[in-house]
């Protein structure tokens, strides 16, 4: 609790406050975040914000990392709540979807089209994998409890080798072809949520989107071996 720590804490609080206001703006005004508007809401000059974030992109990056962590945490929490592997998979996907529906602007931030001129820095790599790992954990549990019987078609050629490398990198003991199933399920999950949030389902599936979602996610689970 020395002075340096105090100053750092005040700075951290200010940084957090800027992010919160920015999130509020993102939620109401859409993706074109105005730094000046954020500064106005905080009763400070726009130039003062630059003491905390070097640029608008820097602020966005901070928000993106937070969002990855939030959705990853939601997925992990859901995973911990279910013992049965199949239901764990389904619960994880529902948790991600619920989070996305509650925070559509944050979802767009991380899984929508990249912000113009914005290039995701290396900081975002690790938090981005938490959902995938949660899904892989369900498959791992399925393997451990002997629930996995059928297997998806073996990936062939270079792609098969790449899956083997990813399986190695994962280090979860999940065999390559199931890693492919996990990745495919993750992609399907992202597509289902983005399709729902970005309007691709409009005028086609308007009533029971949750039913459609779960139907797809159970199919994705089956493709990853979890039948």
Task: Give the binding site for DNA (CB under 7 A).
Answer: 2-4, 6-7, 10-11, 14, 33-37, 43-48, 50-52, 54-57
Closer Cβ to a copy of itself, 42 or 190, answer by number: 190
From 155, 178, 221, 226, residue interacting with a copy of itself (rule: CB under 8 A) = 155
Length of the chain: 227
Phi-psi region of 175 (alpha: psi -120 to 50; beta: other; left: phi over 0): beta
From 192, 221, 225, 226, residue interacting with a copy of itself (rule: CB under 8 A) = 192
Q: Which residues from 94-123 bind a copy of itself, rule CB under 8 A?
A: 108, 111-117, 120
Q: How far is CA 51 from CA 3, 59, 63, 76, 105, in A?
A: 20, 11, 17, 35, 25
- Cα 146 to chain center, whole Å? 29
The angle at the Cα of 67, spanning 75 to 170, to the nearest 5 degrees, equals 50
Q: Is 187 in the site for a copy of itself (CB under 8 A)?
A: yes
Q: How far is CA 46 from CA 4, 53, 55, 161, 225, in A?
A: 26, 11, 11, 51, 53
Residue 212: name its binding partner from DNA, a copy of itself, none (Cβ under 5 to 8 Å by kind): a copy of itself
Q: Is 171 in the site for a copy of itself (CB under 8 A)?
A: no
Closer Cβ to DNA, 19 or 94, answer by number: 19
Closer Cβ to a copy of itself, 16 or 208, answer by number: 208
Do residues 48 and 122 make contact, with C-beta atoms less than 8 angstroms apart? no
**Alpha-carbon span 49 to 67, nearest angstrom:** 21
Q: Any long-range contacts for 44-51 (C-beta under 8 Å, 24+ apart)? A: 49/18
The angle at the Cα of 120, spanning 174 to 136, to the nearest 5 degrees, equals 15
From 99, 180, 221, 226, residue interacting with a copy of itself (rule: CB under 8 A) = 180
CB-based contacts of 41: which residues, under 8 Å, 6+ apart? 21, 24, 25
Residue 146: name its binding partner from a copy of itself, DNA, none (Cβ under 5 to 8 Å by kind): none
Closer Cβ to a copy of itself, 158 or 171, answer by number: 158
Closer Cβ to DNA, 44 or 190, answer by number: 44
Residue 192: name its binding partner from a copy of itself, DNA, none (Cβ under 5 to 8 Å by kind): a copy of itself
The footprint of a copy of itself (CB under 8 A) covers 29-32, 108, 111-117, 120, 125, 128-129, 132, 152-153, 155-162, 166, 180, 183-184, 187-192, 194-195, 198-200, 202-208, 211-212, 215-216, 218-219, 223
């Amino acid at each position: 609790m020395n002075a340096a720590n105090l100053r750092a804490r005040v700075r951290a609080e200010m940084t957090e406050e800027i992010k919160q206001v920015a999130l509020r703006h993102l939620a109401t005004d859409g993706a074109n975040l105005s730094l000046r508007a954020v500064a106005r809401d905080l009763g400070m000059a726009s130039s003062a914000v630059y003491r905390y974030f070097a640029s608008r992109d820097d602020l966005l990056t901070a928000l993106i990392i937070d969002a990855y962590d939030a959705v990853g945490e939601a997925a992990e929490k859901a995973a911990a709540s279910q013992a049965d592997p199949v239901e764990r998979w389904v619960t994880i996907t529902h948790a991600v979807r619920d989070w996305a529906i509650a925070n559509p602007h944050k979802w767009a931030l991380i899984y929508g089209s990249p912000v113009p001129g914005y290039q995701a820095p290396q900081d975002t790599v690790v938090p981005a994998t938490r959902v995938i790992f949660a899904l892989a954990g369900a498959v791992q549990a399925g393997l451990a409890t002997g629930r996995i019987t059928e297997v998806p078609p073996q990936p062939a050629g270079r792609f098969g080798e790449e899956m083997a490398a990813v399986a190695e990198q994962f280090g979860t003991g999940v065999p390559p072809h199931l890693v492919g199933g996990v990745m495919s399920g993750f992609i399907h999950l992202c597509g289902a949520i983005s399709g729902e949030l970005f309007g691709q389902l409009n005028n086609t599936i308007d009533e029971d989107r949750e039913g459609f979602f779960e139907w797809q996610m159970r199919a994705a689970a089956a493709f990853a071996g979890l039948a």
